[in-house]
Structure 1
Amino acid sequence: MEFKTLTLDNLETEHICCAITEKKGENCVPSKKAWLRERIGEGLVFRKLDVRGKVFIEYLPMEAAWIPAAGEGYMYIDCLWVSGKYKGQGYGDQLLSQCIEDSKAKGKKGLAVLSSKKKMAFLSDPKYLKYKGFRVADQAEPYFELLYLPFEEGIAAPRFRDCARDGRIDEKGWVLYYSNQCPHTEKYAPLIAQMAEAEGVDFKLVKIESREQAQNAPTPFTTYSMFHDGSFVTNEILSEKKFERMIK
């Protein structure tokens, strides 16, 4: 099977792998493709196996990444995902190798990626990455780890910005930060907000719509992060039923 890179010319017609099945009238896939369209112009690479499945890697220069972290000269991996029947066939290794080769060709110092102390939903698998040579560069509450793979020894590691270190915000009630980095969020974040309103729950929805906003966010995972009474709760994209159990 061959790999394919998304471009501005083929973005509209290509399956973007991570997209959920859409019902008529939903905006999940278009929201992600609109986000990708802008990021491709900033150096984002979305490389996928040429199948209708979840086998892809998405990365971009760290200076352009939607994460409150600094790492000049690094390439940042937004997502590396292989699932279903394609697991265990070496596709993840191939995608990572292609990313490394491309990043070196572009003169990058190394790779960086957001992970966690143990495997968490929607975050890169720390066990796999550390097996591939990634190291812990920095940590943020409650469980986030910024991993990096330097291409040379002795170079400075990337770091989280102070705004995202302690897993806290000043606002009370439920506060959900999200962006269109994942197509799931455009469906489920507004649904959660509507449900909270119907239940009379103190809830605020904050959509991150620019790189500057993302790089100064109070959470490393700007795709989706829920806070309650000032404390970080979860980065898992919640269904209505899961949120209902949480608030009760």
Structure 2
Amino acid sequence: MSEVKPEQSAAPLISHLMELRNRLLQAVMAVAVIFLGLVYFANDIYYFVAEPLTSRLPEGTSMIATDVATPFFTPIKLTIVLSIFLAMPYLLYQAWGFIAPGLYQHEKRLIAPLVFFSAVLFYGGIAFAYYVVFPLAFQFFTSVAPEGVTIATDISSYLDFVLKLFFAFGLAFEIPIATLLLCWTGATTPAQLKAKRPYIVVAAFVIGMLLTPPDIISQTMLAIPMLLLFELGLLFSRFYVKKSTEDEDASEVQ
């Protein structure tokens, strides 16, 4: 048996690291290009994101900036995050291009659509938060302010608040992908998930309570989509049940 030289074993590792570096650079370049195209409209973008709150503020009130540099840096921060969001399909493509060569053919057929639909679901979660949850939540918050209290939200605090909710809803909408992956890897089965449905219902409302503002409307409006998405993932999970070793070997031979 011929002895493998250290130089030969190190060569593939260096090759993978070089490819990883190149793909990371391409991802950063994509985000930078989008950012440069959007930075001129940073204030307009912030105005659009703040509209669910500003349109519901009491007459004569407005948002404020408590720091000197906040009016400049807050829209820039939002534009950077938006650039990452918009570049997400390309970022996922780069991640897919890096891991795909190490996958079997049947794994590629399963993961490729998951990568696409994960981006679609993430965008769907963000859109749901902006168009459905924010109007109801901010209407609730502005209507329960004690008498004599003037609502004047800091623009930086508002951005941090909505970004947390964007990420929360975006990740929550990935439930079908998580369900499919759990069944595909053999961690669980559709039958086992169906048996645990009552616990999942309770967990959805608990997560909704933790991730949303402290009102029953926002909590319910996150929990119900999570449950519907779980049922959707459960429906399709039967196509992603882990194969036995013999079946995998046979499919690879074919």
Structure with a larger share of its residues in helix: 2
Larger relative contact order (Cα-Cα within 8 Å, sequence gap ≥ 6): 2
Which of the pair has more CA radius of gyration? 2
